[in-house]
Amino acid sequence: MLTVFLFLPAAGALMVALLPRERSHEAKWVALAFSALAFLTSIAVFLRFDRDAVGYQFVDRFEWIRAGTAGFSIQYVVGVDGLSAALVLLLGLLTVVSVLISWNIEARTKEYFAYLLLLETAVAGVFVSLDLIQFFLFWELELVPMYLLISIWGSGRKEYSAMKFLLYTLAGSAFMLVGFLMLGFAAGTFDIAALTAQPPTEALVPLSLIFWAIMLAFLVKLPVFPVHTWLPDAHTDAPTAVSVMLAGVLLKMGGYGILRIALPILPNEARDFRVALAALAAVSVIYGAIVTLQQKDLKRLIAYSSVSHMGYVLLGVSAMGALGLSGAALQMFTHGAITGLLFVMVGLVYDRTHTREISEMSGLIHRMPLIGTVMLVAGLASLGLPGMAGFVAELTTFLGTLEAHPAATIAGIFGVVLSAGYILWMVERVFHGPPTERWAGLTDATAWWERTAMAALVLVILAVGIYPALLTETIAAGVAPIAQIVGAA
């Protein structure tokens, strides 16, 4: 089933690409159909996931490259635990939303939707791969469609931003590959489950170096201070759907990598550096929030808020306990839905105003009550209002980290105050105030695809916020073994 989920979008991409030129307007329907099928598959995975069972589920495996003389082999192996099951669901949902929100794309539609679907396969590959080399391949594959999507369909300094994104990630993943190879040669296998069960005790270079080599790639992706500056540029210049994917699922590759690879395979090293990680997290949260307060561009503002919010993921990780790790995992899911929705809304605003300068907007809610209301809902979720998804994740993180890192946790809680500041100030400037002449002609979100995209995400945010048990049990099933490994000192 996972293999189906993994390659269904790629098949869709192929089919979109093969559409004859005169039928290129059907590309979006094909893309919608394939992403919807993939979404249904991800729902099935999530629902049929057995939360009481131990180990990976829905495993497909075959030998891919056998290198008998070298003593190792590279295999194709996919499977999910509670952690990846949740992220797979998020990916399925956000891809459908991304396709919907791209309904108006006019230029080179075939290529656009093909790349979007290819992106889903690449990210899915990261979430379900259980072999380091395979993980790495999908990790790199994701760059191709992203680079093209930003540099062709983006705006502003799109080539610069796309190149920056590409180089930043490549620089990180070069270290990651070295780290993976060292681990693999030391242990004689690239199988993640095997490595987790029996982590190598020594390698060519000190394990702590390998840990940081791998972490570098993940921290860039997350991103945390000071390796975050690619994110605002990439977001600002990317088309809406790409921002949704970027904030919603691509950043989660970083957090996922930490939880799946860095922590369980190098638990002692992770524990050794927990204070450093907590410090990085606290700085990211506060620094990100303060810089967010300064932003004059609506999309940049949301982008910087991601730096702050992803800091909570690292904070949860840094405590190396079950609750903190659960908080981190929950935060990945909820941030994906919430920030995804925020970018959807920013996109809808931009489609109408053709500007992202906050100072040029005022009183937009008078013309766009629905967009304004949903933006407020997304904003409130982002600032951690109880009853919405973000609160559960942040609370769990704080409960799990206070004992291990009191100062960093208190800094994290202060970040919640700052987030209220930047969100409400943004809402005040953009949506409140008297209606103005300039924006008198704007229309609200009336198209079915706009409304469906908004409704789906609002529903998820409220559902998880009101009844967190929908998600917590699955997450707990995924986190428990990881916590057992890193928690046992």
Which residues are near another protein by CB under 8 A?
Answer: 164, 167-168, 225-226, 228-230, 287, 290-291, 293-294, 322-323, 326, 363, 365-366, 380, 385-387, 391-392, 395-396, 398-399, 402-403, 409-410, 413-414, 416-417, 420-421, 424-425, 427-428, 431-435, 467-469, 472, 475-476, 480, 483
Nearest-approach distance from CB 471 to another protein, in angstroms: 9
For another protein, give the closer residue by CB, 73 or 373. 373
Nearest-approach distance from CB 469 to another protein, in angstroms: 4
Q: How far apart are CA 2 and CA 57, in angstroms?
A: 9
Pair type for strands 57-67 and 72-80: antiparallel
Nearest-approach distance from CB 142 to another protein, in angstroms: 21
Nearest-approach distance from CB 413 to another protein, in angstroms: 5
For another protein, give the closer residue by CB, 64 or 467. 467
Report the C-alpha dihedral over residues 28, 34, 36, 40, rounded to 10 degrees: 180
Nearest-approach distance from CB 148 to another protein, in angstroms: 20
For another protein, give the closer residue by CB, 65 or 440. 440
Nearest-approach distance from CB 392 to another protein, in angstroms: 7
For another protein, give the closer residue by CB, 33 or 417. 417
Q: Is 310 helix (H, G, I), strand (E, B) or coil?
A: helix
For another protein, give the closer residue by CB, 30 or 231. 231
b/e map of 213-223 (b: 16 or more CB within 10 Å)? bbbbbbbbbbb
Q: CA nearest 139: which of 220, 64, 250, 213?
A: 250
Q: At what angle do helices 132-141 and 158-187 cross, to 10 degrees?
A: 170
Q: How far apart are CA 56 and CA 52, in angstroms?
A: 11
For another protein, give the closer residue by CB, 63 or 403. 403
For another protein, give the closer residue by CB, 178 or 427. 427
List all residues 6 or more positions away from 165 whose beta carbon is below 8 Å from its beta carbon: 143, 146, 147, 150, 230, 233, 234
Nearest-approach distance from CB 157 to another protein, in angstroms: 12
- Enumerate the H helices of 222-297 as residue ranges: 230-237, 240-245, 251-257, 263-265, 267-272, 274-293
- The neighbouring-strand residues paired with 458 are none
List all residues 6 or more positions away from 266 whose beta carbon is below 8 Å from its beta carbon: 199, 207, 210, 211, 214
For another protein, give the closer residue by CB, 251 or 388. 388
Q: How far apart are CA 481 and CA 193, in angstroms?
A: 11
CB 117 within 8 A of CB 206: no
For the CA atoms of the chain, what is the radius of gyration? 21
Nearest-approach distance from CB 436 to another protein, in angstroms: 11
